[in-house]
């Protein structure tokens, strides 16, 4: 049984991170993979996984190791990155940066024990824009509800029992945008062994579009690489 849940905001303590620009400063990262980030014994995706670091956890980099390795999501869809070496009294190992962000996420609890990371940033404005569209030789007035955040513009459009969702991300990498798929379309799979968040399955790549299989009512879920360097996540659902 799959359900979509309303989101409640969790408040977590704020820990400041340095910019990492000076030699004696450490760079800070946060886990944005909802399934957690693997802690590897060595800087290789083929290395032994020691444990998983939970979503939202802060990581301080002792060293950043450049690598040509990429994490495969599906055919023709890979997430590149570097290995982040971390070491403290309680933890030691390497984390692949495709599961990380430098933006401190807002953590939301969609169900007890299930957390998603939101890196939209602060809300800046809301507005409604009206336009005329023609369907079957008839003209209709369409209203777009547009919400501007620091890192994304979200457009919601309702028409004839269907609902369009368009997120245009700026200032983010493809890796960060990919992990926002589970934020833009939250589906929980309830089983006898526990409840799990669904990860959209990669289907195929067509030009600048990467298509994913939506869960529940979500259809036509995709990531679009735009010419101006921004990324779009779009989908729709119908009642």
Q: What is the pLDDT of residues 221-230, one digit of tens each?
A: 999 999 999 9
Domain boundary residue, one of 118, 140, 173: 118
- Compute the half-sphere exposure of residue 31: CA atoms within 13 Å on the CB side of its CA: 20
Same domain, 109 and 148: no
What CATH number is given to the structural domain containing 102? 2.30.30.40
Residue of 96, 39, 85 lying closest to 61 (CA atoms):
85
Same domain, 67 and 155: no
Any idea which of 86-90, 101-105, 133-137 has the lowest mean pLDDT?
Answer: 86-90
State the Cα angle at 68 between 228 and 49, rounded to 5°: 115
What's the distance, Cα to Cα, between the start and end of the chain in Å? 18
Give me the pLDDT at residue 186, please: 67
Decide: 221 and 181 in contact? Cβ < 8 Å: yes
Reported as a single tens digit per residue, the pLDDT across 1-44 is: 444 333 333 323 333 455 444 434 579 999 999 999 999 999 99
Domain boundary residue, one of 118, 151, 166: 118
Distance CA 58, CA 47 (A): 22
Reported as a single tens digit per residue, the pLDDT across 193-222 is: 777 788 889 999 999 999 999 777 788 999
Same domain, 79 and 140: no
Same domain, 134 and 203: yes
Same domain, 128 and 234: yes
Neighbours of 14 (CB within 10 A): 7
- Domain interval for residue 234: 123-238
Same domain, 187 and 234: yes
Neighbours of 144 (CB within 10 A): 15
Same domain, 167 and 89: no
Question: What rounded mean pLDDT belongs to the chain?
Answer: 86
Same domain, 131 and 177: yes
Domain boundary residue, one of 80, 101, 118: 118
pTM, two decimal places: 0.84
Number of domains in the chain: 2
Q: Cα separations (Å) of 43 from 48, 198, 199? A: 10, 28, 25
Same domain, 188 and 203: yes
The residues that bridge with 52 in the sheet, in sequence order, are: 38
Give me the pLDDT at residue 191, please: 74
Same domain, 60 and 157: no
Reported as a single tens digit per residue, the pLDDT across 121-180 is: 999 999 999 999 888 889 999 999 999 999 999 999 999 899 999 999 999 999 999 999
């Amino acid at each position: 049984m799959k359900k979509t849940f309303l989101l409640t905001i969790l408040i977590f303590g704020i820990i400041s991170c340095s910019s990492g620009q000076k030699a004696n400063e450490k760079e800070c990262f946060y886990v944005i993979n909802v399934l957690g980030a693997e802690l590897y014994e060595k800087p290789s995706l083929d290395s032994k996984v020691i444990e998983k670091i939970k979503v939202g956890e802060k990581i301080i980099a002792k060293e950043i190791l450049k690598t040509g390795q990429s994490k495969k999501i599906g055919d023709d869809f890979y997430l590149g990155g570097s290995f982040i070496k971390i070491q403290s009294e309680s933890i030691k190992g390497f984390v692949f940066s495709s599961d990380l962000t430098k933006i401190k996420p807002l953590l939301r609890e969609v169900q007890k024990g299930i957390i998603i990371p939101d890196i939209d940033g602060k809300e800046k404005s809301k507005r409604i824009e009206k336009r005329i569209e023609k369907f079957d030789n008839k003209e209709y007035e369409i209203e777009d509800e547009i919400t501007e955040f620091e890192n994304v513009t979200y457009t919601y459009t309702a028409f004839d029992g269907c609902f369009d969702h368009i997120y245009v991300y700026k200032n983010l990498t493809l890796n960060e945008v990919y992990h926002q798929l589970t934020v833009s379309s939250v589906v929980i799979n309830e089983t006898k062994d526990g409840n799990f968040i669904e990860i959209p399955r990669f289907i195929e790549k067509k030009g600048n579009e990467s298509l994913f299989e939506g869960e529940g009512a979500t259809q036509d879920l995709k990531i679009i690489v735009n010419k101006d360097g921004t990324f779009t996540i779009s989908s729709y659902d119908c009642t």
